[in-house]
Chain A
């Protein structure tokens, strides 16, 4: 009897230890998921295209959407950049009902966003750069960058997404053209 009770106590002990361990594993796994995920937005985009290449996110462009959870009434395009190589400039021409832009860091966190009401004349012309590069640019602002929106982001690798609203079918070609003609390139300075 005593033997049995001792065994039971040891079993209880082991289960308790297991539960405490489960708590620790829970926290460790939770914190490691972002680090080791191969399904995050950056990894998905890097499989689809190179750095500084615009890549449509909606299914309209053919094939399954690269990054999900895009509003069905929206078209979107994304490009990856690396600020260590220099600042990146994003431009898109044309008039669409609504566009918005987000800058994400390597982990897919939104670090900055703005929309067409923020821009001068509703034109999409933005430069993403690090605070250090900003200091250089401030010293002597080039003529061709005067109308641009400067996004100071303390990141290296990042993702840039343009979203644009498609109110109805008649807007589809216009919005498509707006996104397809958008450019994302290293800006010399």
Chain B
């Protein structure tokens, strides 16, 4: 009798604990269902639309996100560099390459919750396409780090994990058909503060 009760409790504990924990974990990982990966960049074109999968819907409800619409833009998030290592706030990176067609784009360094990194200075940890210097072939090289650098400089601060959020506004790639042959800039690590 006691053994039966114990087994029943065990089943219930596994069911409720495992079920709850797996949902929590699935909503926490950045990479999920409905993601589109281009190089190191991940986008969720369907997030926040009625056509989204249940995981995206739950994420939207839990985090109170109001996602960009198709006519507004599309966000890409990067959490690794080209070598596959996690992005660190204490490291210096180079973001280089061409950007797809859009009216303009913004790029910012983000923390775990995808809010912009606090720099403690008037300069934001963000850049936009109207203010960047371009190479003759229209590609862009952006240096990311704590210390001022020539050319385009994205200021970061602190230490720990970092994400890059690259958002294209008023862009044809936001309609899913345009996403197949888009190429995004590479993120290359240049070095780290000891």
Contact = CB atoms under 8 A, between A and B. Distances in A.
Interface string A153-166: 00000010101010
Given A25-B19, A26-B19, A34-B57, A17 B64 contact: no
Contacts of B57: 33-34, 107, 109
A69 B65 contact: yes
B149 interface: no
Interface stretch (B89-97, B113-121, B136-144): B113-121
A110 B104 contact: no
Interface string B56-67: 011011111111
A30 B66 contact: no
B158 interface: no
Contacts of B188: none
Nearest to A31: B54
A29 B19 contact: yes
Interface stretch (A82-90, A98-106, A134-142, A176-184): A98-106
B155 to A, nearest CB: 12
A165 B64 CA distance: 21
B70 interface: yes
A21 B63 contact: no
B181 to A, nearest CB: 24
Q: How large is the interface on A (under 10, 10 to 19, 20 to 34, 35 or more residues)?
A: 35 or more
A39 interface: yes
30 contacts: A10-B3, A10-B7, A11-B10, A14-B11, A15-B11, A15-B14, A17-B11, A17-B15, A21-B16, A21-B19, A22-B16, A25-B15, A26-B18, A33-B23, A40-B60, A40-B64, A57-B66, A68-B63, A68-B113, A69-B65, A69-B66, A71-B108, A98-B103, A108-B48, A109-B50, A110-B70, A113-B69, A113-B72, A159-B66, A165-B169
B111 to A, nearest CB: 11
A82 B117 CA distance: 36
Interface string A18-39: 1111111110111101100101
Interface residues of B, number: 58
A109 B52 contact: yes
Contacts of A69: 63, 65-67, 114-115
B68 A102 contact: yes
Contacts of B62: 33, 37, 39-40
Given A72-B106, A73-B108, A108-B65, 19 more contacts: A14-B11, A17-B15, A21-B15, A21-B16, A22-B18, A25-B18, A26-B22, A30-B54, A33-B61, A40-B60, A41-B64, A69-B63, A74-B106, A108-B48, A110-B69, A110-B70, A115-B169, A117-B170, A161-B66
B23 A98 contact: no
B60 A22 contact: no
